[in-house]
Structure 1
Amino acid sequence: MMFRRNASWFIRIFVAVVICCGYSRPVSVTESLTVGRVQEAEEATAVDLGALLDAGDGAVVTLLAGDTRLVAHRAVLAARSPVFADMFRRVTVEGSSSELVLSDTEGPVLRQVLAYLYTLQVPQLPSMAPQLLVAADIYDLSVLKVHCEQQVVAQLSVDTAAAAGVIAIRHSANRLKQAAVAFIKAHMLRVMATQGWAEAVVNDPQTVVELTHLIAETPTDTSTPSAGESRTGPSSQPHSGHSDDGRRSATPAPPTTPQTTPQPDDVAISLLRDLSGEEKGKMLIAAAKEGSVSKVRTLLTVGADVEAMDEDTHNSLHWAAARGHLEVARRLLEDGADVNARDRWQNTPLHQAAWNGRAPMVRLLAASSANCNAKNKHGNTPLHLAAQRGLPAAATALLEAGADREVRNDNGKTSLDLAKWNNHQELVDILGSNIEQTTLE
């Protein structure tokens, strides 16, 4: 009894002291914000867990990541992550099964993600920070992503910088991207001599090219003229050339050349030259697909084969033509790309341009001596493909370039026949009017 009375008085005194301290000391802005975040987190947690009361059957889901099986509540995951919420809306679970396979996240990483979703406490695991950053981006967890960026930036080194830069570019982590680019630029030769850089080039060459360009585009300080000096020499006026005795000197003073810091692009290009021909070819095709003129130019500079092909024997010009990347195609043609190169189906770049309705590309290729009547594996010319697909602009460009509308494919069909067969009336009118015009002439 005495113990209860003493405990009661102790609690009252303790509460009174806490209240007095709370009123006597002002709360800082930082503390206020922290308290606000904690309160928001507690309220969110209460709402999430409260939703489980009425969730009923199907409240629990099993997440599969490799050999890892984790059980979680749908309500918590959906409330925390819009990506999970969308998954649960789209995925229909058959019968009593409630499993979700996550092939893009490893088991240990997923375990930490779930811990964060339930507690809102950021895992302090520097070694796992890069993988957690990727997962945070995948599941749209912006706060976790920011904290992971900070952890990765804090541990940048010559061994980790390449991988960090690739992750930053692929997952739009701008702060990490800036830090990684600055770090690599400051330690370029050491970073590019590491195994991490070599692995990045092999595993994700396109992103490495982008990273290299970011390094090259980062401004580099150069020596600036001092006060009173021009950029062409120590003085804006030529030297008088007078010697100490007043006579004119026969030899003028040599001009002073400003000292400049070598641009990182020179180093990057030198290192890109060391890649194998196969790697350069893959990177060139990827750059052509993307439509990046600067990347194509850089890769051609370091010796990438303009005729390098992918598994379907498409070269970079095939891809540029299919995607309609005019400047890339022009650059490839200037570097000697075969305008009539064939893929495994005997399609030329002009076939690709016609099939995809790229009228400006058709004109560029035709002006570069492309064969407008080249036949593919089935005997179809580019005009056949444009007619079959119902692409009037491409068909018109081909006719203007001299395509023969009377050529027959292996089935004996003309382009007009294919237009009629596929009910493309506009193409029927275009091709028919040309026939009528020719007959009148």
Structure 2
Amino acid sequence: MEAATEVAETAPVPPGLGDLLDAGDGAVVTLVAGDTRLAAHRAVLAARSPVLAATFQHDTSHVTITDAEGPVLRQLLAYCYTLQAPQLPSMAPQLLAAADKYGLSGLKDACEQQLAARLHVENAATTAVLALSHSCSRLKEAAVAFIKTHTYEVVMTQGWADAVVSHPHAVVELTCLITEPPAPNSPPATTEGGPATTEGGPATTEGGPATTEGGPATTEGGPATTEDEGAMPATTEVGPTPASHRQLPCDPSQAHVTAALPTIPQRTASPDEATASPMRNLPGRERDGRLIQAAKQGTVEALQELLATGADVGARDENWSGWTALHWAAYWGDAEAVRCLVDGGAQVDARDHRKIAPLHLAAFNGHTAVVQMLLASSADPNSRHHCGGTPLHAAAHSGHADVVAVLLEAGSEMRARDNMGKTSLDYARLNKHQHLEEMLF
């Protein structure tokens, strides 16, 4: 009974349970986690945990906890006796998982609150995956809102890269949550960094991002590009890109392919007057909002009509860090939408609130054709965002050899360092993209 005494000393028994301390040995069960063995009263544990109560129906005297370490078991047991959640932020993820498994809703809620209060760029991806894995609605909402506000920074962390490898299905679900707009007529979840509030999500268009209601689909498809050389799995994309989007293969044998930068042929949009007339009657702000939504959806005809009726090609999506329509088209890798917007006068080096340019987004997601188009339209291959990263840093981080080759051909500085002193080669090595080392050395 030594272990039981230790627990009682650190976790005072509340009124009404004191008589259990004098109960016979049959009232006691031993909990085992690794080398840790703790004795506790069946009645206490059964009253707190429906899972343990079901276990005790088999008249067992030992319960082995396989997915929690000794310190977590101690805190779990202390909570069962005191109903007081420990203030141990470093242990909160493990405690949350254990609380969810054993049906301790109060402890689970307390852990959610602790984790939500300590969200930052480095742990946001891990916290979001934890929330999704254990159906933590409030923690999920907080983590998604945070990532929407700091999307680029979060997806550049090792935490995101690790989540892609260890929890690919959760990352796919997370990317859908990050990119889906709120329901019609509902206020935005956050004041900055959230999705646009216009009605509907990205539409399924030929050559554009495939979606289902409420978010991007996981079916095959993707944005229209001039490259069509097979799809990489969605889980290889280290960025908020739905599973429907194609990735160019990072084939080491193609590491030195350097295609000539294409010129962008001029096109004139001539929308039907019957369609264009209602557009002209819309307030300017609504036209601009529809232009950004059309870029998200990849509906080129709508882009042409809106531009022809006076929509501002430089309008900003203030609910997503000030992205322009060109940012969205470059992010999705929609070459036809990019072509339309550039023809319509979009600034190829437009910066959002964090100085991220469309070229950064296209390079990060491996959209070679869009990278070529932007460079052919005089985009700066050495533009830097607020963390000092260049498009080459972004492509190297994600392992896109074709994009790296195109950027180097266009004059990207191979040895440029970001604000943390890292080169593109450093990021390639950090993320184990060995096929890029020879290109960037």
> How would you bin the TM-score normalised by the shorter chain?
0.3 to 0.5
Question: If the length of structure 1 is used for normalisation, what is the TM-score?
Answer: 0.42
TM-score (ref. length: structure 2): 0.42
Q: Which has the higher contact order (CA 8 A, sep 6+)?
A: 2
Q: Which has the higher helix share?
A: 1
- Structure of greater Rg: 1
